[in-house]
Each structure stands twice: as C-alpha cells, then as structure tokens.
Amino acid sequence: MINIIPAIDIIGGKCVRLTRGDYDTQTTYGADPVDMVKRFIDHGLTHIHAVDLNGAREGKPLELHLLEKMASVNNARIEWGGGLKRNEDVRDLFNAGATWGVIGSVAVRNPQLMEGWLVRYGERMVLGADVRDGKVAVSGWLEDSDLTIGNLVERFAPFGLGRAIVTEISCDGMLAGPAFELYRILDARYPAIEFTASGGVSSLADIERLDADGVKSVIVGKAIYEGRIRLEELEVKG
C-alpha cells in the first residue's frame, strides 16, 4: 500500500502552494500549519512533508520555531526541507523535532557535506530532487544544474541513501497528473531506493495508479487544499 504524505508549504507562517515552483504564482490558503498537522493526524496521516519556501530561497532555515510547534503535535512525524546548508542547520532541525531532513541544493553544490550527513544520520536524511527537463533544479527551483536524479542517486547510494523525493516541476501545482513514467523508470533502475512521487497529483485515481505502478510513497498537496481530494478519502485507520 502506497504511503500518502500530505504537504505543507510555508511562507510567512502560512500554508501556501506554488505552481511549477514559481514564487510569483503563490496561493495563500490562510490555514495555520499547526492546525493542518492536527487535521492530517486526525485522519491517520502522521507522516507530513513540510517545506520552508522562504528558507529555500534565502539559503537558511527561517521557520524552525514553527517546526517546533508542528512537531509537538501528538504522533506527528515531520520531514522538513528548505535552506538546510550547514551542519548547524541540520542539528537545529532535529533539535526542533523533525523526524527527517530533506536535502536539495546542498546535495548538488556540496555533495561531500551530504555524504557526511548520510553517514552520521542515516535514513533521517532524505534526498529532495526537483527535476526540470531532466535536470535537477536548486535554490528553491530558481536555478538549474547539470545533474540528473540518476547522478545524485548513484553518488549517494554508497553512503546509505535510502529515499529520494522526486518532484517533476513541470507537473507541480498543475493538478494534471504526476510524471508516472519518470517514477517507473527510476524504480526499475534503482530498486534499492524508495522514490517518493511529488507534483501533479490531482485525484484519488492518480494515487491508485502510482500504487499500481509500485511507487512506495506519494506527496499530496494542492489537491487537498483545492478540495480535489478529501482527507476522508485518504484516511488511514489506526
């Protein structure tokens, strides 16, 4: 059964969504992130994906005080990304209560640091790869690199990488379906890695198709906030 991970993207302490990673397309939903965590957990969705979008753009965590409140909700298991670039950032992240840290730009720009974190923290470190035209984007999706997701997986797997969140930026926020073929290819090529599908999920049917394809986990964001998918449909019974 596919693991469903609801998403909370944060700017200025509010839940927001972007379209294709473009900050100019921001939609603010007004919901308090802590209240959203409680709503998700009430429906049995305890594994939550949260991104500090301003932190990603500025290159330093800006919302760890909010993470502390979110992580204090009973049974919450939060993976957090956005601006994690230094050893102190990761230390502060886990001290604030995160279960996992999601590393994006640093994995591209300073891979030795990512390797060290994988050795030290093991499966608590998750690769976050945002892909546009086959290449990994960095700095809150504002810049493109020359690396593919395959390049990163092959580099970090020997250091213990177990999971990678892969967002196809062209699908993100479009509510037009995820990049099914991309995940099929990655799962076939790297069976030892758990790839989490992200971007484009618009309906329960999309999730069921990913599940049928063998994808192990999926992040669902805008479809929840726009009412395309009801939390009752995703409910996990305890």
pTM, rounded to two decimals: 0.94
Q: Which two tokens mark 198?
A: 């992200």
Closest CA to 232 of 75, 43, 41: 43
∠ CA 147-213-178, nearest 5°, is: 55
As given in the structure block, the two tokens for residue 46 are 């305890």
Q: Which of 52, 89, 130, 206 is catalytic?
A: 130
Total domains present in the chain: 1
**Active-site entry in 9, 52, 89, 172:** 9
Compute how many other C-beta atoms are within 10 angstroms of the C-beta atom of residue 207.
22
CATH of the domain at 46: 3.20.20.70
Closest-CA residue to 72 (of 95, 44, 88, 101): 95
- Please report the pLDDT score of residue 129 as a whole number: 95
Q: Are 146 and 135 in contact (CB under 8 A)?
A: yes
The one-digit pLDDT tens for each residue of the chain (238 residues) are 999 999 999 999 999 988 777 788 888 887 899 999 999 999 999 999 999 999 988 889 999 999 999 999 999 999 999 999 999 999 999 999 999 999 998 999 999 999 999 999 999 999 999 898 889 988 756 688 899 999 999 999 999 999 999 999 888 777 789 999 999 999 999 999 999 999 999 999 999 999 999 999 999 999 999 999 999 999 875 4
How far is the C-alpha of 182 from the C-alpha of 3, rounded, in Å?
A: 18
The phi-psi region of residue 82 (left if phi > 0; otherwise alpha if psi is between -120 and 50; otherwise beta) is left
Mark whether 130 is an active-site residue.
yes
Domain that holds residue 25: 3-234
**Neighbouring residues of 29: CB distance < 8 A, sequence distance ≥ 6:** 14, 15, 16, 17, 225
